[in-house]
Structures are given as structure tokens and as C-alpha cells.
């Protein structure tokens, strides 16, 4: 199970940060391809993915664990935006 802080995920979907990092093992990252530094490891992992997608990366895997695209990414963003502060 991956645990992310709600505030980090909200900052990610609001475009204020590129990555939300898990706060426990296993190490995982929820990332926005539009915001990830293309020269970073994460940038290489999300290369070629649509900028509006959201990507779950685990440890140093070469490929993403999951990719939310199109309607799935929009629905997730909307859900996160509606969470209580």
C-alpha cells in the first residue's frame, strides 16, 4: 500500500509541485509529467506520456506502476480538489 499526504497530492493536482512522495515504504511517487524535470529519473520514466496524465512511480522502476489518463486523470483531480482541507 502506498501512503501519500493529502496536502502533497493536492499541491500536485493544483500544479504547485511536480511530485508527491510517499511517507513510508514502499517508496513511491505520484507525478505530473507536465511538471517533472525531464533530466531527472522521474522525467525519464514519464517521457512520452501525456502532460495532463498522472503517474504512479515506485522505487527506481523503469516503467510507471500506473498511469491515469484522460477522463481518469480528470476524475482523480476533481476528487482530490473536493477533499476537505
pLDDT tens, 15-42? 999 999 998 888 899 999 999 999 988 8
Give yes or no for a contact between 54 and 67, defined as CB atoms under 8 angstroms apart. yes
Output the pLDDT for position 17.
Answer: 94
How many folded domains does the chain comprise? 1
- Decide if 1 is inside a domain: no
Q: Look up the domain containing 73 and give its range.
A: 6-79
Give yes or no for a contact between 30 and 68, defined as CB atoms under 8 angstroms apart. no
- Decide if 65 is inside a domain: yes
Whole-model pTM: value is: 0.87
- Decide if 85 is inside a domain: no
Which is nearest to 42 in space by CA: 52, 51, 33, 50? Answer: 33
> In whole angstroms, what is the distance from residue 7 CA to residue 44 CA?
25
- Decide if 17 is inside a domain: yes
- Decide if 32 is inside a domain: yes
68 three-state secondary structure: strand
What rounded mean pLDDT belongs to the chain? Answer: 91
Residue 29 forms beta bridges with which residues?
A: 21, 57
- Decide if 67 is inside a domain: yes
- Decide if 73 is inside a domain: yes
Amino acid at each position: 500500500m502506498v501512503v501519500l499526504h493529502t496536502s502533497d497530492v493536492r499541491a500536485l493536482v493544483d500544479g504547485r509541485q511536480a511530485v508527491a512522495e510517499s511517507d513510508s515504504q514502499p517508496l513511491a511517487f505520484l507525478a505530473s509529467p507536465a511538471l517533472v524535470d525531464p533530466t531527472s529519473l522521474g522525467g525519464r520514466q514519464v517521457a512520452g506520456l501525456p502532460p495532463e496524465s498522472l503517474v504512479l512511480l515506485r522505487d527506481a522502476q523503469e516503467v510507471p506502476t500506473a498511469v491515469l489518463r484522460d477522463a481518469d486523470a480528470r476524475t482523480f483531480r476533481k476528487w482530490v480538489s473536493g477533499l476537505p482541507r
